[in-house]
């Protein structure tokens, strides 16, 4: 690039002009919000309020992330026997009364509880809804990532198998990706309907009537899995294309050589396809996970976090608290925590890539 270097000054000035709009835009609408967000988390600023926020230190973080536990022994009667309830289970003092009165537990509320021998261990948190949403978000990721990625791999293998009409099939599998998640949510809300939904109808038909209709979105145990199925359906086509590109990058000669060496289809898959796809698969897994952790639209449209917070996610909480309940400082805190989780994942991915590059060298 001797010409441009020789003109150092000229192109330097041009570069500033060329890059300015984009970089100003990025600075204003990406960089500044991140910094603002960070600053806000240490205040108690509200969204619309005449008062400016006050500095509150790490109070927001404490409230968000504080977790504790309470161990209780069962109640005993005067003779020292364990008092049981009508179901035969030991009775314990109400955790709530303890948290409300005991000064070491101010601000905490019970979240869940477990039995440990004859003791009861209660997990307490200052913001149980948020922690619940954190668990839900990871649960969702745990459900959707394997489902979506294995479906994508299966479809990529099928489309690449050299059968007739593969362009048509590829188009069919990819078509949900171009749909807006809002549309997909609305249609699947219909599909999941207890009485009119196609989902229940097909399951009934396939099981010859043994299957009872389920209110998928109204049942706390089935709501998240239902969202996972729907999200995998919408997104699998995207990963399929990426995996397909990876598959097509594997030389056919490798498969020929393996055939001559005596490998059957399964052995060829494990020894050529899988290693050849390793990098692509890692990329797909990480990208899908990061996208899954940002779950918002489906929840907002279909379930609004319910039933009983079963589908509340981190982003949903961020919007709910930060915007709808106007506690912008707290909403920012949630956003920062979310950002932190994503960043850790990305750094993990880069570390894996670097390690792999070193191993191969």
Partner 1 sequence: MPATLELRDIRKEYGGTEIIKGVSLTVAPSEFLVLVGPSGCGKSTLLRMIAGLEDISSGDLYFDDQLVNDWDPAKRRIGMVFQSYALYPHMTVEQNIGFGLKLAKKPRAEREARVEEALRVLQLTALRHHKPSQLSGGQRQRVAIGRAIVRKPNAFLFDEPLSNLDAALRGQMRMEIGRLHQRLKNTVVYVTHDQVEAMTLADRIVVLEGGVIRQVGTPMELYERPSNRFVAGFIGTPTMGFLEARLAAADGAGISVSIGGGEASKRVRLPFAAPAQQGDAPLTLGIRPEHGRICPADQALVFGDVIMLERLGADTFAFLDVEGAEDTVAVRLPHDHEAIAPGTRLGLTFDPQHCHLFAADGQAVAKIQP
Partner 2 sequence: MTPAQRKRLPIRFALYALLALLSAIFIFPFLFMLASSLKGNDAIFADVESLRAVLPVGDLTLDNYSAVFQRGNIGHFLINSVIITVVTVALGLFVNSLAAYALARLEWRGKQAALVVLVVLLAVPLEAISVPMMLLVTKLPGLDFSEGIALTRSWLDTIYVQIIPFIANAFSIFLFYQFFRDIPKDFDEAAYIDGATPFQVYRHVIVPSSIPVFATVTILQGLAMWNQYLWPVITVPGEEARPLMIGMQQFFAARRVEWGEVMAYASVITVPILLAFIFFQRWFVRSVVGSGVKG
According to CB under 8 A, which residues from 71 to 90 bind partner 2?
none
253 binds, among partner 1, partner 2, none (CB under 5 to 8 A by kind): partner 1
Site for partner 2 in 204-233 (CB under 8 A): 233
Taking CB under 8 A as the criterion, the residue among 57, 260, 266, 358 binding partner 1 is 260
Q: Does residue 174 touch partner 2 according to CB under 8 A? A: yes
Taking CB under 8 A as the criterion, the residue among 56, 121, 187, 285 binding partner 2 is 187
97 binds, among partner 2, partner 1, none (CB under 5 to 8 A by kind): none
107 binds, among partner 1, partner 2, none (CB under 5 to 8 A by kind): none
Site for partner 1 in 275-294 (CB under 8 A): 275-276, 278
Q: Does residue 257 touch partner 1 according to CB under 8 A? A: yes
Kindly tell me the sign of the dihedral angle through the C-alpha atoms of 186, 191, 195, 196.
Answer: positive
Site string for partner 2, 295-334 (x = CB under 8 A): -xx--xx-------------x--xx--xx----x--xx-x
Site for partner 2 in 92-131 (CB under 8 A): none
**Span between the terminal Cα atoms of the chain, in Å:** 31
Site for partner 1 in 81-110 (CB under 8 A): none
360 binds, among partner 1, partner 2, none (CB under 5 to 8 A by kind): partner 1
Residue 70, CB-side half-sphere exposure with 13 Å CA sphere: 25
Residue among 224 and 334 whose Cβ is closer to partner 2 = 334
Closest CA to 203 of 195, 211, 193, 192: 211
Question: Strands across the sheet with 119-125, in order?
Answer: 67-72, 119-125, 109-116
How far apart CA 194 and CA 188 sit, in angstroms, is 12
Task: Please identify which residue in the block is written with the tokens 């709808």.
Answer: 324
CB of 288 to partner 1, least distance (A): 24
Q: Does residue 261 touch partner 1 according to CB under 8 A? A: yes
Q: Which residues, at least 6 apart from 121, have a Cβ–Cβ distance to it below 8 Å?
A: 69, 70, 71, 72, 113, 114, 115
Beta-bridge partners for 236 = none
Q: Does residue 203 touch partner 2 according to CB under 8 A? A: no
Closest CA to 316 of 303, 305, 327: 305
Site for partner 2 in 2-41 (CB under 8 A): 2-5, 7-8, 10-12, 14-16, 18-19, 21-26, 28-34, 36-37, 40
How far apart CA 360 and CA 78 sit, in angstroms, is 71
State residue 70 phi and psi, 5-degree precision.
-135, 125
How far apart CA 212 and CA 222 sit, in angstroms, is 14
How far apart CA 212 and CA 204 sit, in angstroms, is 7
Taking CB under 8 A as the criterion, the residue among 94, 100, 119, 259 binding partner 1 is 259
Q: Which residues, at least 6 apart from 325, have a Cβ–Cβ distance to it below 8 Å?
A: none
Site string for partner 1, 216-255 (x = CB under 8 A): -----------------------------------x-xx-
Q: Residue 298: helix, strand or coil by DSSP?
A: helix
CB of 308 to partner 2, least distance (A): 19
Note the residues at the interface with partner 1 (CB under 8 A): 251, 253-254, 256-263, 267, 271-272, 275-276, 278, 360-361
């Amino acid at each position: 690039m001797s010409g441009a270097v020789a003109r150092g000054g000229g192109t330097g000035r041009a570069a500033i002009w060329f890059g300015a709009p984009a970089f100003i835009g990025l600075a204003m609408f990406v960089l500044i919000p991140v910094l603002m967000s960070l600053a806000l988390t240490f205040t108690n600023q509200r969204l619309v309020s005449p008062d400016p926020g006050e500095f509150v230190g790490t109070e927001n973080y404490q409230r968000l992330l504080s977790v504790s536990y309470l161990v209780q022994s069962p109640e005993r009667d005067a003779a020292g026997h364990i008092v049981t309830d009508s179901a035969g289970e030991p009775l314990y003092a109400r955790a709530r009364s303890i948290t409300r009165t005991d000064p070491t537990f101010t601000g905490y509320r019970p979240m869940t509880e477990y039995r440990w021998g004859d003791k009861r261990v209660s997990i307490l948190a200052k913001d149980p809804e948020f922690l619940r949403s954190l668990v839900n978000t990871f649960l969702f990721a745990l459900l959707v990532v394997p489902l979506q990625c294995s479906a994508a791999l299966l479809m990529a293998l099928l489309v690449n198998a050299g059968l007739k009409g593969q362009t048509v099939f590829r188009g069919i599998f990819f078509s949900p990706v171009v749909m807006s998640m809002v549309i997909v949510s609305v249609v699947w809300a219909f599909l999941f309907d207890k009485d009119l939904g196609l989902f229940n109808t097909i399951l009934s038909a396939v099981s010859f009537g043994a299957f009872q209709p389920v209110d998928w979105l109204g049942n706390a145990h089935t709501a998240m899995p239902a969202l996972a199925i729907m999200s995998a359906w919408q997104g699998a086509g995207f990963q399929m294309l990426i995996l397909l590109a990876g598959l097509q990058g594997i030389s056919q000669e490798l498969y020929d050589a393996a055939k001559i060496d005596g490998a059957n289809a399964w052995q060829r898959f494990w020894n050529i396809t899988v290693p050849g796809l390793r990098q692509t698969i890692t990329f797909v897994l990480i990208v899908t996970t990061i996208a899954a952790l940002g779950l918002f639209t489906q929840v907002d449209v279909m379930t609004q976090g319910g039933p009983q917070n079963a589908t509340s996610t981190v982003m949903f909480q961020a919007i709910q608290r930060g915007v709808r309940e106007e506690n912008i400082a707290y909403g920012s805190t949630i956003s920062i925590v979310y950002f932190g989780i994503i960043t850790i994942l990305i750094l993990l991915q880069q570390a894996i890539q670097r390690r792999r590059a070193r191993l191969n060298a």
